[in-house]
A and B are shown apart, each in its own frame.
Chain A
Amino acid sequence: MTSETLVEIKGLNFSYGERPILKGIDMIMPRGKVIAIMGGSGSGKTTLLRLIGGAIRPSAGYVKIAGKVVHELKRDELFQMRRKMSMLFQFGALFTDLSVFDNVAFQMREHTDLPESMIRDLVLMKLQAVGLRGAHDLMPAQLSGGMARRVALARSIALDPLLIMYDEPFTGLDPISLTVIGNLIRRLTDALGMTSIVVTHDVQESLKIVDYVYFVSEGVIAAHGTPEEVRGSVAPFVHQFVHGEEDGPIPFHYPAEAYTSDLKLEGSFA
């Protein structure tokens, strides 16, 4: 592990009851990079984020952030660590009873003793970074999906975190908002020197902005590499995923008994 590594994941296992979700995941995430975790729906990507954030405990292995094993932290220490990280939820998860301004100011008011005048300046700066300074008076219900996601992004960088996790940041966005969010993730990561983990299945958009890609399939890392390596990969799984092919290592059909016997046709036409 180099000094530049922020997140180290080793032999990570997790299961819901008897059902294994993750089976021995190893990852290294350096500081200042954008890392994508890709995989089909239900492949355990979001579970991985929850493990990194300490919301659930692994059944084996560990997640280490800045040298500390997350699941060994006490609740106070975990909360202390979470002040250094942020998570952008799929649909933003803005607090619906607070205005855009108060949403972005939320953590500053909860965790710092900054005077209100300074909070105002900071909030307007964060909103300026996502292009929504003019919207600070609006309520979340008045925002479009893309705008809500940008406000959530401004809120997640409120305390200049070391690490931001994005859970499906591109879901349900129009092409323009999609590019805007993608570019913002890249730009903010570079400007603030933080590390970004993007969980997504939007291959084309994310390959444009990320530094490294991990493919997760059925609880293991199926492939990993830089965007160039991924685009040129001939590995069947990566090829199927990147090109969105219907059938391949990930089958189109859910496992079932033979079609003919299911329709009770055996022998009828023989």
Chain B
Amino acid sequence: MPRRIVVGIRGVGHRVIDSIWRLGYASRFFLLTLLKSGTSFRRFGLIIRELYFTGVLSLIIIVVSGLFVGMVLGLQGYETLQRFGAESAVGTMVALSLVRELGPVVAALLFASRAGSAITAEIGLMKATDQLAAMEMMAVDPIARVVAPRFWAGVISMPFLAALFSVVGVFGGYLIAVVLIGVDEGSFWSQMQNAVDFRYDIVNGVIKTCVFGVAVTAIAVFEGYDASPTAEGVSGATTRTVVTSALVILGLDFVLTSVMFRGMS
């Protein structure tokens, strides 16, 4: 029995040390990516190409999801607000929920599962098929040539995707509340305009999306680069990207929200 306990404690210690080591390794990788980003900006074509894959190809899922989320918000908002006779505030509710929370968070979650997983799988497969090693042997640094452009493309596209998500969501809320249910159009927009503050709501939302963009893409490129060069290794890394990103997004969202929004507007 004591031996089992020793083995158990040793196992826990091993895991803790391993995760801390991995965290350090990931941070070092993140720093290296930043340091070696010069090439990407000198040859911006490298980033443009990746922008297409991470940004443009994520448009459909972002737009469609945004529309549905906005429509649901319209329905639920109207349902609750009309009990208090405040149905004209539905526009405010839709806009604030989207700009402050749902836009950044849901768009980042979708981005992680659509673009993040693709980045991890692509880099992981490049590693598994010796493409990264081949690049090293050609005296080309894979972090500068493969990792950094993908990282920056993700960081750049994330705020735009989240903004689009919010815009389409507001439109979805409008379709339901105004067009379908018949809330007064003038009060829908004017209340929204009065309630949403540019600095307090929109800028804070944009800051959130930027933070999520950096976090998701950094996780995605790291997991791809660190994947074991086998089929299981790449599939495991892809799963880890999505799971870790989701947890990090939600955790960071809580931290950011508690710093940004304290009811002091």
Residues of B within 8 A of A91 (CB): 129-130
CB distance from B232 to the nearest CB of A (A): 19
In the assembled complex, the Cα of A85 lies from the Cα of B138 at a distance in Å of 8
Bitwise interface map of B from 105 to 137 toward A, beta carbon under 8 Å scored 1, else 0: 000000000000000001001100111011111
Bitwise interface map of B from 39 to 62 toward A, beta carbon under 8 Å scored 1, else 0: 000000000000000000000000
Whether a CB of chain B sits under 8 angstroms from the CB of A113 is no
In the assembled complex, the Cα of A134 lies from the Cα of B133 at a distance in Å of 28
Bitwise interface map of B from 125 to 158 toward A, beta carbon under 8 Å scored 1, else 0: 1100111011111111100010000000000000
Q: Is the Cβ of A55 less than 8 Å from the Cβ of B129?
A: no
8 Å CB contact of A106 from B136, B138, B141: B138
Whether a CB of chain B sits under 8 angstroms from the CB of A19 is no
8 Å CB contact of A93 from B122, B130, B141: B130
Q: Is the Cβ of B139 less than 8 Å from the Cβ of A82?
A: yes
Residues of B within 8 A of A89 (CB): 130, 133-134
8 Å CB contact of A96 from B129, B136, B137: B129
Q: Is the interface of B mostly helix, strand, loop or mixed?
A: helix
Query: What is the chain B residue whose CB lies nearest that of A94?
Result: B131
CB distance from A267 to the nearest CB of B (A): 34
Whether a CB of chain B sits under 8 angstroms from the CB of A86 is yes
Q: Is the Cβ of A107 less than 8 Å from the Cβ of B134?
A: no
In the assembled complex, the Cα of A95 lies from the Cα of B126 at a distance in Å of 8
Q: Is the Cβ of B133 less than 8 Å from the Cβ of A110?
A: no
In the assembled complex, the Cα of A93 lies from the Cα of B129 at a distance in Å of 6
Residues of A within 8 A of B140 (CB): 106-107, 110-111
8 Å CB contact of A87 from B125, B129, B137: B137
Q: Is the Cβ of A55 less than 8 Å from the Cβ of B133?
A: yes
Residues of A within 8 A of B126 (CB): 95-96
In the assembled complex, the Cα of A86 lies from the Cα of B122 at a distance in Å of 24
CB distance from A54 to the nearest CB of B (A): 9
A contact residues, total (Cβ < 8 Å):
21
CB distance from B228 to the nearest CB of A (A): 16
Q: Is the Cβ of B138 less than 8 Å from the Cβ of A93?
A: no
CB distance from B147 to the nearest CB of A (A): 14
Q: Is the Cβ of B131 less than 8 Å from the Cβ of A93?
A: yes
Q: Is the Cβ of A96 less than 8 Å from the Cβ of B130?
A: no
Bitwise interface map of A from 50 to 86 toward B, beta carbon under 8 Å scored 1, else 0: 0001010000000000000000000000011011011
Query: What is the chain B residue whose CB lies nearest that of A89?
Result: B130
Q: Is the Cβ of B129 less than 8 Å from the Cβ of A82?
A: no
Residues of A within 8 A of B133 (CB): 55, 89, 93
Q: Is the Cβ of A86 less than 8 Å from the Cβ of B130?
A: no
Whether a CB of chain B sits under 8 angstroms from the CB of A90 is yes
Residues of B within 8 A of A97 (CB): 122
Residues of B within 8 A of A79 (CB): 139, 141
What residues make up the interface of B, taking CB atoms closer than 8 Å to A? 122, 125-126, 129-131, 133-141, 145
Besides A55-B137, A89-B134, A111-B139, 18 new A-B residue pairs in contact (Cβ under 8 A), listed by A number: A55-B136, A79-B141, A80-B139, A86-B138, A87-B134, A91-B129, A91-B130, A93-B130, A93-B131, A93-B133, A95-B131, A95-B134, A96-B129, A96-B131, A106-B138, A110-B138, A110-B139, A110-B145
Sample (28) of A-B pairs whose CB atoms are under 8 Å apart: A53-B137, A55-B137, A79-B139, A80-B139, A82-B136, A82-B138, A83-B138, A85-B137, A86-B137, A87-B134, A87-B137, A89-B130, A89-B134, A91-B130, A93-B129, A94-B131, A95-B126, A95-B131, A95-B135, A96-B125, A96-B131, A97-B122, A106-B138, A107-B138, A110-B140, A110-B145, A111-B139, A111-B140
